[in-house]
Structure 1
Amino acid sequence: MKKDFAVIGLGRFGGSICRELAEQGLEVMAIDTNEARVNEFSIIASHAVVGDTTDESVVKGLGLRNFDHVIVAIGDDIQASILTTLILKENGVDKVTVKAQNDYHEKVLKKIGADVVVHPERDMGRRIAHKLASNNVLDYLELSDEHSIVEIVANERVGGHSIIDLDIRAKYGVNIVAIKRREQILVSPQANEIIQYKDILIVIGADHDINRFEKKMLS
């Protein structure tokens, strides 16, 4: 069953979400106060509308409470972002994801009921920093303030040993949840699985444990 999405704010972040959802064949309503942006997305989204979502009558008129998921991607206008989120939740929108500009903005959004708050610039900065800091880290995804999933390339020290021989979970408190090996992906690998040199290990755990594992085994 297809979900219906609405994206409010068609800047770089909102625009990229709108394009990707549309490319996946999903129903997307694109909304912005800027007519030129709306015209640009009129051939991309299912519906493109000029509207000010800080006006409750506009939110009601667009029927946004009937959408499965509304993404508030309003750019630098924090007041408009907060007011839009508040109106959406008060009008019964089930799932609202909002782009935050800073930590204070995030605190306010959570207090008024935002279901998911994202920091695209901050999160991308952290991912890039982790890649730059280690030759072995391919990708990094933050799960919370203290836990992450990281893709790490197995070096010679790890290659040729089984997961149980390395005793990674007991020694470092992290779990290998999958292994990418050329075109193959091993999900939940067995303890006796032999890690091969250049395997990509998908590791989950607390950030300080992952860092300890990287320094001890992969540096």
Structure 2
Amino acid sequence: MKANQFIIIGLGRFGSSIGQELIRLGHEVLGVDRDEEKVQELSKIFTHAIVADATEEEVLRSIGARNFDCGVVAIGDDVEASILATILLQELGVKKVVAKAVSELHGRVLERMGVDRIIYPERDMGIRVAHQLVSPNLLDYIELSKQYTIAELAVPQCLSGQSLEDVNPRGRFGCSIVAINKPKGIIIAPAANDVLAEKDVMVVIGTNEQIEQFQHSLNK
């Protein structure tokens, strides 16, 4: 996989977590923050980390922000700084701009600015945890859009030994099993004759309603 270059503005828990995972995946990361302590802490982990004010256009120009594949604005405690940094990344021509929103209003502003992706860490985690609490088979839940969801569902005992053809989630509920994670490895685009076992994890995609109906059928 080609290594991409990311610039992350704001090195709090959210920004530092994204940066560390990108480094682990083999990408290059430049971290930017006003806080010298945060920068020092991550300077040995990130490709580069610098103390700078990302709301200053000349600062972003001098560090070559326009040459990065993706800019992540992870500022969480200063909405004005978040918006300014986002505008500057867009104006400098960064290919893709992702921004953290701390409220619905902040998110609407970012949406009107044409940000490529808006992330609501606290809200999204709250939604995922709530779904996990009410469905014992749900391991993870990611909303792809207002209508579509991808979910990881543990195979219950009642489905163990059944093939995908037997379970037939597409015919019964309209959702599709796009992968099966087995202890020995993952099966991508499984065939109708692939058999489920109790310790397997199904990766399911469909509308929210379709997946809820499928989940409900597993709990009976």
Q: TM-score w.r.t. structure 1 length? A: 0.92
Query: How far apart, CA to CA, are the structure 1 residues paired with 2:81 and 2:143?
Result: 27
Contact 1:7 / 1:18 at 8 angstroms: preserved in 2? yes
Query: How far apart, CA to CA, are the structure 2 residues paired with 1:7 and 1:95?
Result: 12
2:48 is aligned to: 47
Query: How far apart, CA to CA, are the structure 1 residues paired with 2:180 and 2:3?
Result: 31
Q: Quick check: 34-43 or 55-64, which moved more?
A: 34-43
Deviation at 1:156, TM superposition (A): 3.2
SS at match of 2:19: helix
Percent identity over paired residues: 44
1:209 is aligned to: 210
1:91 is aligned to: 92
Q: 1:44 to 1:161 in 2, by over 3 A?
A: closer
SS at match of 1:191: coil
Gaps of 5+ in 1: none
| Partner amino acid, structure 1, of 2:10 | G
2:176 is aligned to: 175
SS at match of 1:149: strand
Query: How far apart, CA to CA, are the structure 2 residues paired with 1:25 and 1:117?
Result: 24
Query: How far apart, CA to CA, are the structure 2 residues paired with 1:196 and 1:42?
Result: 45
1:141 is aligned to: 142
SS at match of 2:159: coil
Cα deviations across residues 115-150 of structure 1 (Å, max 9, x unaligned)?
A: 111111111122222221111111212211221111
Answering whether residue 186 of structure 2 is matched by residue 188 of structure 1, we say: no
SS at match of 1:30: strand
Answering whether residue 9 of structure 2 is matched by residue 4 of structure 1, we say: no
Cα deviations across residues 45-66 of structure 1 (Å, max 9, x unaligned)?
A: 2222111111111111221001
Query: How far apart, CA to CA, are the structure 2 residues paired with 1:158 and 1:20?
Result: 35
Query: How far apart, CA to CA, are the structure 2 residues paired with 1:10 and 1:196?
Result: 42
Deviation at 1:196, TM superposition (A): 2.7
SS at match of 1:157: helix
Q: Please give the root-mean-square deviation of Cα atoms over the aligned residues, in Å.
A: 1.7
Gaps of 5+ in 2: none
SS at match of 1:195: coil
Q: TM-score w.r.t. structure 2 length? A: 0.92
Contact 1:157 / 1:218 at 8 angstroms: preserved in 2? no
